[in-house]
C-alpha cells in the first residue's frame, strides 16, 4: 500500500512501533491508504468528515496510529464508562464535559493556551445521521484559540484517509467554509445519503 506521509517537525508525535504496525495492518487488510501532508504546526484543529459509519472511527484511528501523531479528541461520555475506556483514553480520547465553565469550546481554548503542542480532532457533523447544518464548535475553538484548521477526509471511493486544505478562521463562517464544503463534495462517504454539506 503506497502511503504518502509528510509531517512537519513541530507536529506532536506519539511513537510506538506496536501501534504503528497495528494501524498499518488494519489499513493493509482493508485496502486503504493514507495521504497526509501536515505543515510545521505545533497546534491546530483537525475536522474529520464525512462521518456516516462506525467504520470511520476504525479507519481514522488506524491512520493516526500509522502517522504516529499525538491527536486528542472528544467523545461521548458513554465511551469512557465501559471496558474499553482505558484504551480510548490512551489513544487520546477525552469525555465531553458539558457542565464545565465555557463548555467544550472553553475546555479546548484553555487547553490550547496552556499547552505548547496540541492537535485536536473533531467530527463537525456530530452524528452519523444526515445533518443539514454542521456544528460550529470547532470553528469557535479555532477562532478563539487562534489556531489553524486542517480538513481531514475519509474517501470510501478511493479508500483513502487524507488531509486536504488547511485554513485560518476570519470570523466569517460562510466565507471560510465555502471552499471547505466544496472540497467535501468531491469525497465519497460510506453512506452518501447520510452526508450533507451546507449550501453557502
Q: What is the pLDDT along the chain (200 residues), one digit of tens a residue?
A: 689 999 999 999 999 999 999 999 999 999 999 999 988 999 999 999 998 998 998 999 999 999 999 998 876 666 677 776 777 777 777 776 655 545 889 888 998 999 999 999 998 876 656 766 888 999 999 999 999 999 999 999 999 999 999 999 999 999 999 999 999 999 999 999 988 888 87
Interatomic CA distance for residues 86 and 92, integer angstroms: 10
Interatomic CA distance for residues 22 and 200, integer angstroms: 40
**For 142, phi and psi rounded to 5 degrees?**
-65, -40
pTM over 0.95: no
- What is the separation of C-alpha 10 from the centre of its chain, rounded to a whole number of angstroms? 18
Amino acid at each position: 500500500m503506497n502511503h504518502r506521509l509528510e509531517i512537519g517537525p513541530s507536529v506532536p508525535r506519539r511513537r510506538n512501533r506496536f501501534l504503528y504496525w497495528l494501524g498499518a495492518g488494519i489499513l493493509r487488510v482493508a485496502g486503504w491508504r493514507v495521504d497526509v501532508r501536515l505543515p510545521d504546526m505545533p497546534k491546530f484543529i483537525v475536522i474529520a468528515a464525512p462521518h456516516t459509519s462506525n467504520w470511520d472511527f476504525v479507519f481514522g484511528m488506524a491512520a493516526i496510529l500509522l502517522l504516529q501523531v499525538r491527536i486528542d479528541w472528544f467523545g461521548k461520555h458513554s465511551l469512557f464508562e465501559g471496558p474499553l475506556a482505558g484504551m480510548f483514553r490512551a489513544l487520546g480520547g477525552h469525555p465531553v464535559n458539558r457542565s464545565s465553565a465555557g463548555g467544550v469550546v472553553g475546555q479546548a481554548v484553555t487547553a490550547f493556551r496552556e499547552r505548547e503542542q496540541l492537535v485536536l480532532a473533531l467530527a463537525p457533523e456530530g452524528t452519523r445521521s444526515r445533518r443539514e447544518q454542521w456544528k460550529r464548535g470547532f470553528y469557535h475553538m479555532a477562532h478563539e484559540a487562534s489556531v489553524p484548521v486542517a480538513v481531514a477526509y475519509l474517501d470510501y471511493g478511493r479508500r483513502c484517509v487524507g488531509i486536504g486544505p488547511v485554513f485560518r478562521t476570519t470570523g466569517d463562517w460562510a466565507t471560510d467554509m465555502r471552499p471547505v464544503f466544496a472540497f467535501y463534495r468531491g469525497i465519497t462517504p460510506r453512506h452518501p445519503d447520510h452526508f450533507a454539506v451546507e449550501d453557502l
